[in-house]
């Protein structure tokens, strides 16, 4: 799908979901919900940006994921969840509407919402395979998409809560808005991102598997989706239980899962840096890079130092050139590593040539700054091979 068509589609979804949320919250509730829902977004996006520093995901991909989560995924979820719950209440459980609502929250909603959010990951996996290099990319794309989804959902829930407070005169600690904000934005802002990150883990692992292993490449994303739906269902089920049950599930189940996911992601990020250091010497031997550069490009601290040296000597434009040079070199290393594992993306040779052209274009300014940063960081790095 073309970029323009996709942009128009997301814009239409955004306009429709905006109207639906406004209709359910009213103007005052919408504005209050919007303001409160924005508060956790910079923190979450900042966390995923920090994870993404080892091999930055193109900004257009992140914007697409955020827009998909906030607009398309929420529109699909609200529409399908509503129809499914009404069908359960009218046709399957007409005499037990409470059971229909519970079934919708614990079975229907987790599947629909996680499948809708996973659409962003799937589209990038299929149509931007060059930019989808592994686990960290899957985690970041999934987390950003879920952040957009949680934002729109929070506007809806917080706006409704504010409307209830106005209707029933709740203020202070009795405020439904305060309770909703504490639960969704303070106690569990990572809930939706955590669910969808599991899908991203599956797609990221699949991108690293040799192309000849088709069954495994298909099974890993499905396994990630199943894990996300299960975790989401447990979370929704706990939210309908007494407070002590919810807190027990939160502390004994959700927090350990979050810890494992964070550990796996950090391990994958360190692996990316090790891959860069191990792979780039091939390009040193071919004359594209100098001897100290693989070390500098595999160390986040040294990359920052290289940009600072360029900025200090030649200005901000030079720092941006160094950043482009670093991005191209890291992508080159990961691309080559994927090819060596038998999982090259389509158009591997053409993409490698494009990245080498970027290196060559920025080399006169960026290569000396990168090599100098390596020497500053480790005085004898220039003699290491």
**Which of 60-69, 77-86, 95-104, 324-333 is predicted with the least confidence, judged by mean pLDDT?**
95-104
Min mean pLDDT across 83-97, 309-323, 338-352 is at: 83-97
Instruction: Give the pLDDT confidence score for residue 111 in this predicted structure.
Output: 96
Question: What pLDDT score does 325 carry?
Answer: 96
Compute the mean pLDDT over every residue in the chain, rounded to the nearest whole number.
Answer: 90
pLDDT band for position 382 (50/70/90)? very low
Residue 379 has pLDDT above 60, yes or no: no
Question: Which of the four pLDDT bands, split at 50, 70 and 90, describes residue 114?
Answer: very high
The tens digit of pLDDT for each residue in 33-53 reads: 999 999 999 999 999 999 999
Q: With a cut of 50, say whether residue 352 has pLDDT above it.
A: yes
Per-residue pLDDT reduced to its tens digit, 170-214: 777 678 899 899 888 888 888 999 999 999 999 999 988 878 888
| Predicted confidence band of residue 385 (pLDDT cuts 50, 70, 90) | very low
Please report which confidence band the pLDDT of residue 343 belongs to, taking 50, 70 and 90 as the band edges.
Answer: confident
- Greatest mean pLDDT among 100-114, 220-234, 250-264: 220-234
pLDDT at 259 over 90: yes
Q: What is the mean pLDDT of residues 324-350?
A: 91
| Reported confidence tier of residue 160, pLDDT bands at 50, 70, 90 | very high
What pLDDT does residue 94 have?
A: 79
Give me the pLDDT at residue 384, please. Answer: 45
**Percent of the chain having pLDDT more than 70?**
97
pLDDT of residue 29: 94
Residues 12-40 pLDDT 10s: 999 999 999 999 999 999 999 999 999 99
Over the chain, what HEC string results? CCHHHHHHHHHHHHHHHHHHHHHHHHHHHHHHHHHHHHCHHHHHHHHHHHHHHHCCCCHHHHHHHHHHHHHHHHHHHHHHHHHHHHHHHHHHCCCCHHHHHHHHHHHHHHHHHHHHHHHHHHHHHHHCHHHCCCHHHHHHHHHHHHHHHHHHHHHHHHHHHHHHHHHHCCCHHHCHHHHHHHHHHHHCCCHHHHHHHHHHHHHHHHHCCCCCCHHHHHHHHHHHHHHHHHHHHHHHHHHCCCHHHHHHHHHHHHHHHHHHHHHHHHHHHHHHHHHHHHHCHHHHHCCCCCCCHHHHHCCHHHHHHHHHHHHHHHCHHHHHHHHHHHHHHHHHHHHHHHHHCCCCCCCHHHHHHHHHHHHHHHHHHHHHHHHHHHHHHCCCHHHCC
Instruction: Say if residue 1's pLDDT is above 80.
Output: no
What is the predicted pLDDT for the residue at 122?
A: 96
Identify which has the larger pLDDT, 379 or 81: 81
Mean predicted confidence (pLDDT) in 275-279: 95
């Amino acid at each position: 799908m073309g970029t323009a068509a996709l942009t128009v589609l997301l814009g239409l979804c955004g306009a429709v979901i905006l109207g639906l949320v406004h209709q359910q919250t009213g103007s005052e509730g919408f504005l209050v919900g919007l303001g409160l829902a924005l508060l956790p977004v910079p923190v979450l996006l900042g966390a995923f940006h920090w994870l993404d520093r080892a091999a930055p995901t193109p900004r257009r991909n992140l914007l697409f994921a955020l827009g998909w989560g906030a607009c398309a995924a929420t529109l699909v979820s609200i529409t399908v969840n509503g129809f499914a719950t009404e069908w359960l209440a009218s046709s399957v459980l007409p005499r037990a509407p409470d059971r229909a609502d519970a079934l919708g929250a614990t079975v229907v909603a987790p599947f629909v919402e996680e499948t809708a959010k996973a659409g962003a990951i799937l589209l990038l996996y299929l149509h931007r395979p060059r930019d989808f290099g592994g686990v960290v990319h899957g985690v970041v794309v999934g987390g950003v998409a879920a952040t957009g989804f949680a934002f729109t959902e929070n506007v809806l829930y917080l706006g409704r809560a504010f409307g209830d407070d106005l209707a029933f005169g709740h203020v202070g600690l009795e405020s439904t808005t305060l309770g909703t904000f504490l639960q969704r934005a303070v106690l569990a802002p990572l809930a939706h991102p955590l669910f969808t990150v599991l899908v991203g883990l599956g797609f990221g692992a699949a991108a690293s598997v040799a192309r000849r292993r088709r069954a495994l490449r298909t099974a890993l994303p499905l396994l990630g989706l199943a894990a996300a739906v299960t975790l989401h269902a447990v979370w929704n089920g706990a939210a309908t239980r007494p407070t002590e049950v919810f807190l027990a599930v939160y502390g004994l189940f959700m927090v350990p899962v979050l810890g494992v996911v964070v550990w796996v992601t950090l391990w994958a990020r360190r692996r990316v840096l090790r891959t860069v250091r191990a792979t780039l010497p091939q390009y040193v031997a071919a004359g594209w890079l100098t001897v100290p550069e693989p070390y500098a490009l595999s160390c986040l601290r040294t990359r920052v130092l290289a940009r600072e040296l360029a900025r200090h000597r030649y200005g901000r434009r030079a720092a941006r050139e160094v950043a482009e040079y670093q991005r191209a070199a890291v992508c080159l290393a990961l691309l080559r590593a994927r090819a060596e594992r038998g999982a090259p993306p389509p158009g591997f040779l053409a993409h490698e040539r494009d990245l080498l052209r970027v290196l060559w274009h920025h080399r006169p300014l960026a290569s000396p700054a990168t090599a100098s940063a390596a020497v500053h960081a480790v005085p004898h790095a220039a003699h290491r091979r």
